[in-house]
Amino acid sequence: MLHGTRSGTVLAGLNGLSRGLAADLAVPGRSDRMSSITRELGVFCACLLAAIPGQGQSRSRTADKERRGDPAEPVLILHALCPEPTTVVQTSGRSCERVITRADFDNLIAALDPNMPESNRLILATEYTKLVVLSHEAERLKLDQEPAFKRLVEFTRLQLLERQLVRALEAEASSISAAEVTQYYREHPSSFEEGSFLRLYIPKEGKWSVPEQAQTIQQRAAAAENFDKLQQEIWAAQGRPSGAPSTQMGTVRRSNLPEGLQKIFDLKPGEVSALIADTGGYYVYRMESKKVIPQELATSEIRTLMGNLRLQDRVSKLRSAVMVSVNEDYFGMLPSTEELAKHHGLEHSGSHVMPMTDQEKKQH
């Protein structure tokens, strides 16, 4: 059993788990279900790293001090975890016990998420206990000796190593000086321009399918006619007396707009753009206001952006340094470089991924 006034959630979870596990093992043909469960545990562990939700309230400082006790003090005790399953929970003695100490659990938290809120400890304890119980049964069934399990261990090890490397590289990339922030801000002034716009949308339908007709709307907008009334007129001409789109575009960043549309930031407040066409219609923009975000308000954003760019660059260099020959007899014909970049994340300079030659097939 679990001890403590806040153990009800964990105990309830374990009772439900025990009942479900016993039911599975009692039904003929259900032993293969354990194999499925163990395969899912690896996926669960990966999800657990990012999916434990924040719950509960922060404890007081006094309570925090009380929690910092002897590292060897037990925080979880799993009873009746015997080599053979039993329906009798031992209430005395230490037979078949597994003890998780404060140090054990603190180290687990540090490995999973050093910033995990204290309120999530009980959630983690519930899930960790479930893993221990199910993995114990999997070992009893010798599922850990199957070749498929060993392959999964190897693959999971690679995933964990990648995760640890990214953590280390993130820490390295996040070391950005104030001078570097200032330099980035000066070199990318357009990234910190914000503007507020009104927008007209003219579908290429009916009378507006003719560019000259759409141009008349642009001219009226440039002559300071009301954008809302113009938009309603455009919609009414399509036989739609209601449901016209809003002309309020709100505040946007120049850097967040498609490259071809960023030119509207060259307008002055009150100015109206030329007619801008796309496949479905025409647009007309009027700038309402424009400002540049001060560096002191953009510092946090710049640090995050620079850190992400450095991390991406580091990972890209590591990956692009390794050429990969692919056996097309096995995988099928390789897609083009553009398709690889879009669908497979293999966008690197040069022929990073290339078909395996017949000589390579014979040599290996």
Q: Tell me the pairing of strands 281-292 and 353-355.
A: unpaired
Confidence (pTM)? 0.58
Put the strands of the sheet holding 281-292 in their side by side order.
Answer: 248-253, 193-203, 281-292, 276-277
CA distances from 261 to 197, 246, 277 (A): 12, 19, 10
Q: What is the pLDDT of residue 23?
A: 39
Rg (CA), the chain: 31
Q: What is the pLDDT of residue 241?
A: 80
Q: What is the pLDDT of residue 237?
A: 86
Q: What is the pLDDT of residue 67?
A: 56
pLDDT digits (tens, 9 = 90+) for 250-277: 899 999 999 889 999 999 999 999 999 9
- Residue ranges in the chain whose pLDDT is less than 50: 1-66, 88-92, 348-350
Measured CA to CA, the distance from residue 243 to residue 78 in angstroms comes to 63
| CB 134 within 8 Å of CB 37 | yes
Measured CA to CA, the distance from residue 78 to residue 302 in angstroms comes to 48
